[in-house]
Amino acid sequence: MRETAAASNWSNWSGNVRATPRRIARPADEAELGDVIRSAPGPVRIVGSGHSFTPLVASEGTILDLGGFSGLKAHDSERMTAIVGAGTPLGQLTHLLDSAGQGLPNMGDIDRQTIGGALGTATHGSGLGLGAYHTQLLKVRLADGRGQIREFSADTQGEMIQAIGVNLGAFGAMTEVTLQNMASYRLRRRRRALPLAEVLQDFDTLLKSHRSAEFFFIPFSSHALHLTYDIAEGPVSTHPPEQDEDGLKTLKMLRTALKRLPWLRRRLIGSALAKVEPEDFVDVWFGAYVSERRTRFNEMEYHLPFEAGAKALGEIVTLMERAFPEVYFPLEIRSVRADETWLSPFYRRETCSIAVHHDAAEDPTAFFRAVEPIFRRCDGRPHWGKMHSLTAQDFAALYPRFKDAMEVRRDIDPENRFISPYLAKILGVET
């Protein structure tokens, strides 16, 4: 087992969560994993690749790195299923699956997360006909709070998969998961700029009339980029160079330089966007979905009933442009299919997800605090991995099966080995 002996520092991707655990343990197999869970200083919190913005991973006891449980273990080319280590980074998983003739039906913006971490927080892409990663789950193998290995299968214990499909690392340490994939495919990705008025007016159609679609609203521009993704039969074409990072630098520069000339900022960005050449290319599935995100940010994302999306977006834009001129990161607007997983923010609800971002070097508190009531008024459920201010009481009201999920959790972890103060606060566990 690889581990750091003395207290060491840990921080997440954006740097807004830090911890000094007494141990960071990286067990090599399930026997070592069981030993750590039984004997390491608690609380024991599991880390994927640390891309969550909420303190889900932070622990003053032990941080458990499951990077040793990675890779493609087996696959079935007829059923299009694959058994993979839960610690596998998505960027590795995509290549492994593609080599086996399989593809993930959908992906989010990046591939840096692990599959275990993506399942942990209900990570999602866009598309009203497409579920989040946890909807692909057929089987889970995990170590429970006593370090014992348990297996659950959708065939025989469907309710258990619904109970633990989105698990926040509080329902055991997953070592292996079986995923329902599809045959590898190509995607045609198109991007064009649209005036905000058109986005708000044709919101439903623009999001619904493609396999997958999303908007990036550019602050102080009155425009959004509309991205669509559809299955393509043709050959792969040249993937244009990524311009997101250069675009962000320009937006930040204009924000800072034109602080006292907001009208000029709007005119410059708006006219540049109106002239953006549409982009259109075909790539293998993961090449079309995934982007690089080098500029660090913090993020809040809420999942709203789909029909509340357009109105909420309009309100957020008005608020941001009236009171938060420092914001320059785009807003991201997506849709997600409803599902049956108890702690899924998409539980029995077709969803419109709206995300706001803030430069990681600047304090996001005032902006996020002002935006959150707009999300709350629409009965929004926050992304478990992104910043929010909710506690167990709120979640119990937002999730009809919350109490049932907590009973299952208690059975898997009766001594609360996986419960940190933060987990106690959001799950209502008394320690």
Residues within the interface to ligand FAD (CB under 6 A)? 13, 45-52, 56-57, 66, 86-87, 108-110, 113-114, 116-118, 120-121, 123-124, 167-169, 173-174, 293, 383, 385
CB of 173 to ligand FAD, least distance (A): 5
- At residue 185, φ and ψ (nearest 5 deg) are -150, 170
Nearest residue (CB) to ligand FAD, 12 versus 222: 12
Report in angstroms how near the CB of residue 123 gets to ligand FAD at its nearest: 4
Is the Cα dihedral 132, 194, 225, 277 positive or negative? positive
Which residues does 253 contact at the CB level (< 8 Å), separation at least 6? Answer: none
Least CB distance from residue 382 to ligand FAD, whole Å?
11
**In sequence order, what are the residues at sequence separation of 6 or more whose Cβ sits closer than 8 angstroms to the Cβ of residue 69?**
33, 85, 86, 87, 88, 175, 176
Q: Which one, 46 or 352, has the nearer CB to ligand FAD? A: 46
In the complex with ligand FAD, which residue's Cβ is closer, 36 or 258? 36
Smaller CB separation from ligand FAD, 86 or 251:
86
Identify which of residues 80 and 86 has a Cβ nearer to ligand FAD in the complex: 86
Closer CB to ligand FAD, residue 167 or residue 181? 167
Name the token pair of 422. Answer: 């933060």
Q: Quick one: 37 or 258, whose CB is closer to ligand FAD?
A: 37
> Minimum CB separation from ligand FAD for residue 297, in Å?
7
CB neighbourhood size of 170 (10 A): 28
CB of 69 to ligand FAD, least distance (A): 7
Of 404, 350, 397, 346, give the one whose Cα is nearest residue 376: 397
Supply the minimum distance, in Å, between the C-beta of residue 417 and ligand FAD: 12
Minimum CB separation of residue 128 from ligand FAD in Å reads 15
Cα(323)–Cα(180) distance, integer angstroms: 45
